[in-house]
């Protein structure tokens, strides 16, 4: 198994991409900390995975709050003994055209999607540095690389994630810690489920593969970057988007 003996924190893992990653990581031998704000949903998903024989536990966290993040990381270490992998997957959207976007909605997305990545990474670095190894995987987006109409806040946060990824890759590489990012395209999740069918069909027409991605497509990219197969991959942004932005 590709992650045998490893301990992974996956934020935003109560549903969507994070949940798919949690199951795939557990199947590959990792002990998985499902870290999510939604306690009811996260507890249920952790219980379901544990019933399949996986070593999984739920940890409630608000990634935008430093005290909450630090407590979550402490609890994961107390439970599993170490942290080998952090997947900064948690994210939200509050879309609007620039003219109609409120400061509150702009800041909320920045707090979760950008500051949250900083806080979670900042919290795990001491233990990873002490053990001389670690994998940080950040979730960006094609919106953060190319921009997207109606997503000033989301695109700004995801672009910031790319910048932090490359900076941390340079800072932490000599400490045995690799830092990479995945930039998903349009994936079949709760976010895209809210998009009108007419718009979805227009989106599919722009994708060379002709369809949206599945959560497992992103989870498998996380798995590759978390595995020893990617031990010499550092500071990269892996696009998993069906070729939409070629």
Domain of 30, CATH number, reads 3.40.50.720
Q: Three-state SS across 117-151?
A: HHHHHHHHHHHHHHHCCEEEEEECCHHHHHCCCCE
Name the average pLDDT for the chain: 96
pLDDT of res. 245: 77
What are the tens digits of pLDDT across the range 99-128? Answer: 999 999 999 999 999 999 999 999 999 999
Structure confidence at residue 192 as a pLDDT band (50, 70, 90): confident
Structure confidence at residue 56 as a pLDDT band (50, 70, 90): very high
Q: Is 154 a catalytic site residue?
A: yes
Whole-model pTM over 0.95: yes
Q: For residue 195, is it within any domain?
A: no
Q: CA-CA distance, 144 to 23, in Å (whole number)?
A: 27
Q: Which tokens is 129 given? A: 């540095």
pLDDT of res. 222: 98
Q: For residue 205, is it within any domain?
A: no
Q: Which of 37, 54, 154, 222 is catalytic?
A: 154
Q: For residue 190, is it within any domain?
A: no
Q: What is the dihedral of CA 74, 76, 81, 84, to 10 degrees?
A: -110
| Total of domains in the chain | 1
Structure confidence at residue 203 as a pLDDT band (50, 70, 90): confident
Q: For residue 61, is it within any domain?
A: yes
Which region, left, alpha or beta, applies to residue 57 given φ > 0 means left and ψ of -120 to 50 means alpha?
beta
Q: What is the DSSP letter of 244?
A: T
Looking at residues 184-190, what average pLDDT do you find? 91
Q: For residue 109, is it within any domain?
A: yes
Looking at residues 4-23, what average pLDDT do you find? 98
The boundaries of the domain holding residue 236 are 7-184+215-240
Q: For residue 110, is it within any domain?
A: yes
Q: For residue 45, is it within any domain?
A: yes
Looking at residues 141-154, what average pLDDT do you find? 96
Q: For residue 235, is it within any domain?
A: yes
Q: CA-CA distance, 225 to 136, in Å (whole number)?
A: 9
């Amino acid at each position: 198994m590709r992650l045998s003996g490893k301990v992974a924190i996956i934020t935003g893992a109560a549903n969507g991409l994070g949940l798919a990653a949690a199951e795939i990581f557990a199947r590959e031998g990792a002990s998985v900390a499902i870290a999510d704000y939604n306690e009811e949903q996260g507890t249920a998903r952790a219980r379901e995975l544990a019933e399949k024989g996986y070593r999984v536990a739920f940890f409630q966290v608000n990634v935008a709050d430093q005290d909450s993040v630090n407590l979550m990381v402490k609890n994961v270490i107390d439970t599993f003994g170490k942290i080998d992998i952090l997947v900064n997957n948690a994210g939200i959207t509050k879309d609007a055209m620039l003219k109609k976007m409120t400061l509150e909605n702009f800041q909320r997305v920045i707090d979760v999607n950008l500051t949250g990545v900083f806080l979670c990474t900042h919290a795990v670095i001491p233990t990873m540095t002490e053990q001389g190894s670690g994998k940080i995987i950040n979730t960006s987006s094609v919106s953060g690389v190319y921009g997207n109409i109606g997503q000033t806040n989301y695109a700004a946060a995801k672009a910031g994630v790319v910048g932090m990824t490359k900076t941390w890759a340079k800072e932490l590489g000599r400490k045995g810690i690799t830092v990479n990012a995945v930039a998903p395209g349009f994936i079949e999740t709760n976010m895209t489920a809210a998009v009108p069918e007419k718009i979805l069909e227009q989106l599919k027409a722009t994708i060379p593969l002709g369809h949206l991605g599945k959560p497992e497509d992103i989870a498998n990219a996380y798995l590759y970057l978390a595995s020893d197969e990617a031990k010499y991959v550092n500071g990269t942004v892996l696009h998993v988007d069906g070729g939409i932005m070629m």
